[in-house]
Structure 1
Amino acid sequence: MTALNPAADLVDLTRALVDTPSESGDEADLADAVESALRACPHLRVQRIGSSVVARTDSGRAERVIIGGHLDTVPTAGNLPSRLDGELLYGLGACDMKGGLAVALRLAATLTAPVRDVTYVFYECEEVSGDRNGLNRIAAECPDLLKADLAILMEPSGASVEAGCQGVLNADITVRGERAHTARSWMGVNAAHRAAAVLQRLDDHTAERILIDGLEYREGLNAVAVRAGIADNVVPDTCVITVNLRFAPSRSAEQAETYLRGLFREYEIEVTEVVPGALPGLGQGPVASLVEALGATPRPKLGWTDVARFAALGTPALNYGPGDPALAHTAGEYVSIGQLRECEARLQAWLSG
């Protein structure tokens, strides 16, 4: 098992985390290391749930804050082990999100008497289908562990606050035709050709820009897959276009579905997944207090993160962590040493009062 020293230098700790493989579904070794390191801290109560680890202070403070991050990464892309190049630390998950994990681990180990009680959540399977997400299991088995006044997800946000998040809807649009032999194609109707009208409508579509709490959430509607045909001598009678809608958090899941169906009324639509987003909540007390303390100008989160899960539990949440979110999942991902230290210093100051 990897030995982690959460009181070590932040860069060394980040490298140790990066160099411990933890692809989704294979986080057990890293979870073991995190659990072992945190159980050595007498001020924390530690609980293991699957391959997720939860550690809590319990000092009876007036507020409780969750600091969370996922242990898993996407599959390797030839980017292990880690390497340090000046002020940049490269490696699988360095940006998404082992840099954020390192900051959280350091805070958990070194802040023995924070002015706010803190629950540190290190969870499994964020990078795969939502039904495997470790937060779901924690919420189902130990819901009290996720109760707090505020949740901070250490997702990469460039050491700035990214508030709220977009919702996600995936759907299949089916275009019908009539099958025929390609030697007598005039006897059929080519569904793939008919699908051009759907693709053109998507290309012509202007995504909406919606202002919430002074933040502009840009929506997006795109075809992400087109499937037709069963053989190279058969006119296809069915063409399925999979679309992905990223919608502003002011829309509910039902409103997002109604919106999509309204754009393609004459077609068959099967919604395969819809997950609501989270409102930024910048006017809420705990969120406003943290944003002010961090001295950051909030930006909208253009993407979906687990802040939405916390919002569904009634806990205001935001994204704040080191790393450029545009680098997430790329082969060349890295995290800035400066952002690592900045996030640790600012959170430590806020939690220390």
Structure 2
Amino acid sequence: MSADLYPAARDLLARLVAFDTTSRGSNLELVEWVEGYLGGLGVPHRRVPNADGSKSNLMATIGPVIAGGVVLSGHTDVVPVDGQPWTSNPFELTEKGERLYGRGTCDMKGFLALALAAAPELAKTAKKPVHLAFSYDEEIGCLGAPSMIAVIRRELPPPAVVVVGEPTNMEAVNGHKGIATFHVTVAGRECHSSQPHLGVSAVMEAVKLMSSLNQLSARLWDEADPASPFTPKGPTLTIGMVSGGTAHNIIARECTFVFDVRSPGPRTPEEIVAPFLAEAAELDRALKARAPEAGVVVELRTNVPPFQPEPDGAAEAFARRMAGDNGPPRVVAFAAEAGQFQQAGFSTVICGPGSIDQAHQPDEFVEIAQMQRGALFMRRLIEWASEAP
């Protein structure tokens, strides 16, 4: 077997981690650097930008443009480090013991680095296509991937499999939950808190709705199918953000909160929260009767489909072969872009280095052993691509 890909992947990971691609900002500096790297290898590439051009997906095809290839998919954005007690610079790769620390090492620049480390040899030897599909804004609702997936469907010969490199300890995963995020705005009427009869407290009305969601969350937990392979087993509902009011002595004019629903299917998030939506509509009418400017607005902001196990899935079989994985079927509770690729008609699997336990944490890390397993995966992929189709 030829040279180990890990040293090159480690160096590439250091370059990728150095780019602050927190979702609230742009990823274009990273995209431009990767374009330069691929251009130096003679690999054609293209951007699929967002509406205002501030962010972009990046696509590339290594090898012949024919059907039957593999897509290596990953997101370039990372979550914030604000307020987290890091003991090293999150945007500088730091090696301690058997771990590589830095924001995105696990989720999921480690996989991007492995794919890029394989590119030089693939550019020389590939007889089957290996497509790179690097997205933006996965962390805030998988917003970037759909436009890139549309281009793949429209412009490329059909690939045989898609590998989404989210952290799974380099084990094949064939299912994930979907996620939908709802933004709720409760409007009231301000007045002095000594005269509550003259106003409408948006905060106190919002608390009623949040209480209902809390009860719904408990019911979902209690009603979960005990045979479900997921942990937690059924749909989950959590309120993640709340904001409202101006001062303790002012009846609040506005209160907003955000909640998410994670469901393995077949029930959609809209079906799950239908009773809450009906309650919100009833409260909206009641508040408007007290003050015309008051009311309730519920917006579905993002909706990522679940990823369902495929009977005899080609992608799962491919990933297991590349990873040397003979373990049992696996699913994960987090959402990813795999459901979007599957929804578009592609056989899909999740398989990448690192553990989701380290994702989004202070001192995020990926174990060197995981990167080495990923390097072996890419070595086998290079050998597979070098064989005539």
Paired position in structure 1 for 2:31 = 31
Residue 65 (structure 1) aligned to one of 48, 67, 70: 70
Per-residue CA deviation, residues 203-258 of structure 1 (Å, 9 max, x unaligned), is 3433354589955654211222344445543434765543221122433xxx3212
Paired position in structure 2 for 1:277 = 305
Which structure 1 residue ranges, 5 or more long, are not aligned?
Answer: 1-5
Paired position in structure 1 for 2:14 = 15
Offset, 1:262: 2.0
User: Distance in 2 between the 1:75 and 1:92 partners?
Assistant: 9
Aligned residues: 343
Residue 317 (structure 1) aligned to one of 348, 368, 372: 348
Offset, 1:127: 3.4
TM (norm. structure 1) is: 0.80
Q: Alpha carbon RMSD of aligned pairs, Å?
A: 3.5
Q: Which has the higher strand share?
A: 1
Preserved CA contact (<8 Å) 1:154 1:321: yes
Paired position in structure 1 for 2:339 = 308
- Give the alignment of 1:25-174 within 5 angstroms: 25-42=25-42, 44-50=43-49, 51-59=56-64, 63-76=68-81, 78-111=89-122, 112-114=124-126, 116-128=128-140, 130-131=142-143, 133=144, 136=147, 139=150, 143-145=154-156, 147-172=158-183
Paired position in structure 1 for 2:315 = 287
Distance 1:68 1:288, change over 3 A: closer
Paired position in structure 1 for 2:273 = 260
User: Distance in 1 between the 2:182 and 2:138 partners?
Assistant: 21
Offset, 1:144: 2.0
User: Distance in 2 between the 1:313 and 1:45 partners?
Assistant: 24
Which structure 2 residue ranges, 5 or more long, are not aligned?
Answer: 50-55, 83-88, 282-296, 385-389
Paired position in structure 2 for 1:331 = 362
Give SS of 2:173's match.
strand
Distance 1:264 1:311, change over 3 A: same
Distance 1:145 1:193, change over 3 A: same
Per-residue CA deviation, residues 92-129 of structure 1 (Å, 9 max, x unaligned), is 22112221111111222223445742111233343346
User: Distance in 2 between the 1:213 and 1:147 partners?
Assistant: 33
Preserved CA contact (<8 Å) 1:278 1:311: no
Give SS of 1:55's match.
strand
Counterpart residue identity of residue 47, structure 1 = R
User: Distance in 1 between the 2:184 and 2:76 partners?
Assistant: 35
Preserved CA contact (<8 Å) 2:229 2:331: no
TM (norm. structure 2) is: 0.74
Percent sequence identity is 24
Counterpart residue identity of residue 133, structure 2 = V
Distance 1:103 1:249, change over 3 A: farther
Preserved CA contact (<8 Å) 2:72 2:163: yes
User: Distance in 2 between the 1:273 and 1:148 partners?
Assistant: 31
| Greater alpha carbon shift after TM alignment, 140-149 vs 83-92 | 140-149
User: Distance in 2 between the 1:23 and 1:189 partners?
Assistant: 38
| Greater alpha carbon shift after TM alignment, 177-186 vs 268-277 | 177-186
Paired position in structure 2 for 1:3 = none
